[in-house]
Structure 1
């Protein structure tokens, strides 16, 4: 063990959810006299909710600071040497040190480590298109990005917005722009919005988005972003049409930010994310951990590595890493792929495998879709809900669930997430003792209605 004034040094690269959760948990394990913790963050903020940015942009969350879970000052008060506006530019694995550059002054220095945490997050996909970097074109990943977009919206001379991409960020930003009073067009290369759903469920989202006044353009590849006066964005062009725009938001998704790790020779997976073991240690490196949006995780249903950039996982990774780096023992077993979203009053949820995921891993399955309601049909406010369920044909094991509906739809997916984790069959699910009263559910909850239908289709039931 190398020491720094008699202490081990833990260096954390990245100051958001995974990185600062790891630093905070390691500090709970060991005091400043035993463990020195140095954290580098290239931006202005730490421990913020990137998931909340669309709601801040749309005005549902009034202030930027509402999205900050813990300030730099709070971290420093806990004995963490947090260095903002400082970007790590190189990891020297053999020498156990990192090179960091002060973003404002350009000054560079090396810092040695005994233990290293890589939590570099993700970067928005920016298409290599003419005009993609023009003023008025925005990616949304950090609080700085969110502020820049809000400033552009306030200055915009017109009220036309184009969102490129119709995944979670795309649909959430479409809602934010509608709430800001913009006319919104969503240009999507896929067959339907929300490629995390099967196309038949995505079609329900498409229909609902158009009902909210959003213009949906599917099967459309953006070819260039056109600029006008002062080089500012004026339109988005596809193969067949142009869509006027005073502001463009890129909602194409994110990729793991693993350039540093790649240059250091650390192992990356098929999706470009770092590969770790159950303790979140980088494979083959006993003193380096990684977590958050820069890693790949095990999907417990398919048995394959997957890239799932979500704040829920990042915080859990940080807890596991901090416990282990602080001398304890913890593991992160994997995920089942649960995610929820909303666009205005439409709720969208999924967990487990889609049809194409099940085909890809060689599973044979039955798929069923049912229509139900959020409450007892006679109770005021009952709204329609569509549930799709996949079950393995041979065993009846639940493989995946997708839900689209109004109030009360999205969080029902948690029933399925627990069932997937427990590897329940659809037959076993039909006996689940779920809460019932007319204001909350029909006598048979929609998820259980789907499970009953799936159980009838699986051989042997």
Structure 2
């Protein structure tokens, strides 16, 4: 009987376990032996659900786990939790791992094929007090558990969130639900740097209306601690001091690629692994990578960038698993679609911001419209702002941002499809979208923006600077 091929997967969350599971569906244990390493306590979980677990909206951690370790093992996947891979030896086809639950015992495991799915790490700048007790990053279920324990044991009810990106605003909401007085500090002119500043201003207004103190233009210089236990007690900026019983970091993430870099695998400008369309690592025949540790191709600009989202990670895993098993699948790229919320405010974007379009050398027009989520006369119609970017001369859609209440965020999917198809704003105006007064005005807000953008493109003609 032939010896089975050996597949090793580093990382037991979305991309890694999707790859392992997909490979197992294509090949049984007699043809493929699958070993997966995960340094945490959990596998195949929804990191996106952590703010809602912390906020008490959903149960956790079990409710956030899509497939348990036992379920993976029942499918003949040798999943090793609390085991950290410390070295990749490409020349000999093996990885070294350390058993975190057994005193750090180290072993080598050989592979014929390797999947790197090490995810991303929360940014933790080298500031005084940043590693003190009471300061929390939020990336894994283990992080979520630590934060919940910290909230329950906090001496008071004051929380400071550093950073006002997706994680920052979602954690601000979670802390409000927990009864904390919340201050959000951010260096930018407005919260949500994933939006243009004019749209970020709408988010700020809504957050302030919910009782969240939003301080922008705030450069954090350190975290003050008490003298007895070294516990965080305040966050200091260049201009002020903000008392805190709990500090949460919402500064974004970076690809976790130190292990891959040490092995000599190629990284892109953002620090993410570079792969081909099949998600095979550049220059490596038998190494694949996916999830938050890789760069992806931006379908609007053609450039590569790092976008950490579970939706992409799951797709990466499906593609990798098929290819590892001898099939064929590709991941062409993304348009940068993301949605979020803070309390009842919905936030969405896809495609390029103004700054990104300029950096790509594109000339463009922008329009912003205000409409409603339903027919204006229908009960509970809520206001919605839609901003749209279109390329000058061609009218090609470049990006859309939406801020509004119920019914706003998922409208961005219309624009995401249009971007993927390379549509112009003129073509978008003819889209046959569903209509009934409880769901939309006769002209959907996205189409109203497309009409206005088309008029702006026509007005600019093809000559002169933007």
Partner of 1:52: 49
Match runs of 1:259-408 below 5 Å: 259-408=258-407
How far residue 37 of structure 1 moved from its aligned partner, in angstroms, is 0.3
How far the C-alpha of 1:362 sits from its partner, in A, is 0.5
CA–CA distance in structure 1, aligned partners of residues 457 and 104 of structure 2: 63
Helix, strand or coil at the partner of 1:268: coil
Deviations 1:329-356 (A, max 9, x none): 0000000000000000000000000001
| Matching residue within 71, 75, 80 for 2:68 | 71
**1:379-434 deviations in Å (ceiling 9; x for gaps):** 00000000000000020000000000000000000000000000000000000000
Q: Measure the CA separation in 2 of the matches of 1:99 and 1:414.
A: 43
**Alignment deviations for residues 161-182 of structure 1 (CA, whole Å, 9 cap, x no partner):** 0000000000000000000000
1:77-129 Cα deviation digits (max 9, x unpaired): 00101111111000011111111111122111111100000000001101111
Q: What is aligned with 1:95?
A: 92
Secondary structure at 2:458 match in 1: coil
Instruction: Give the C-alpha shift of residue 63 in structure 1.
Output: 2.6
Moved more, 222-231 or 379-388: 222-231
**Aligned match of 2:219 in 208, 218, 221?**
221
Q: CA deviation at 1:247?
A: 0.2
Q: Which residue of 2 aligns with 1:81?
A: 78
Q: 2-side partners of 1:110 and 1:349: how far apart? A: 45
The reply on whether 1:20 has 2:20 as its aligned counterpart is no
CA distance in 2 between partners of 1:381 and 1:369 (Å): 22
Distance 1:146 1:63 in 2: 9
- Residue 136 of structure 2 is matched in structure 1 by 138
What does residue range 130-169 of structure 1 map to in structure 2 within 5 Å?
130-169=128-167
Matched residue of 1:243: which SS?
Answer: strand
Match of 2:7 in 1: 10
Where 2:323 maps in the other structure, the secondary structure is: helix
SS in 2 for 1:111: strand
Structure 1 gap ranges (5+): none
Q: Tell me how far apart the structure 1 counterparts of residues 412 and 268 of structure 2 sit (CA, whole Å).
A: 28
How many residues align? The count is 458
Alignment-derived partner of residue 191 in structure 1: 189
Unaligned residue ranges in structure 2 (runs of 5+): 462-466
Quote how far apart the aligned CAs of 1:201 are: 0.3
For residues 355-389 of structure 1, give each alpha carbon's deviation from its aligned partner in whole angstroms, at most 9, with x where no partner exists.
01100011000000000000000000000000000
- 1:62 and 2:59 matched: yes
What are the Cα deviations for residues 176-226 of structure 1, in whole angstroms up to 9, with x where unaligned? 000000000000011110000000000000110000000000011100100
Corresponding residue SS for 1:459: helix
Once residues 340 and 31 of structure 2 are traced to their aligned partners in structure 1, the CA distance between those partners, rounded to angstroms, is 43
Equivalent residue number for residue 109 of structure 1? 107
Q: Does 1:124 align with 2:122?
A: yes
Mapped pair 1:30 → 2:30: no
Q: What is the deviation of 1:5?
A: 6.4
The TM-score with structure 2 as length reference comes to 0.97
Distance 2:432 2:104 in 1: 61
Distance 1:356 1:69 in 2: 37
For 1:85 and 1:230, how far apart are their aligned partners in 2? Answer: 29
Q: Which 4+ residue blocks in structure 1 deviate beyond 6 angstroms? A: none
SS at match of 2:339: strand
- 1:134 and 1:6 mapped to 2: Cα distance? 50
Verify: 1:232 aligned to 2:251, yes or no: no
Equivalence map 1:166-181=2 (5 Å): 166-181=164-179
What do you get for the CA RMSD once the two structures are aligned? 1.0
What's the offset of the Cα at 1:459?
2.9
Rounded Cα–Cα distance in structure 1 between residues aligned with 2:45 and 2:59: 15
Query: For residue 464 of structure 2, what is the aligned residue in structure 1?
Result: none
Distance 1:266 1:203 in 2: 41
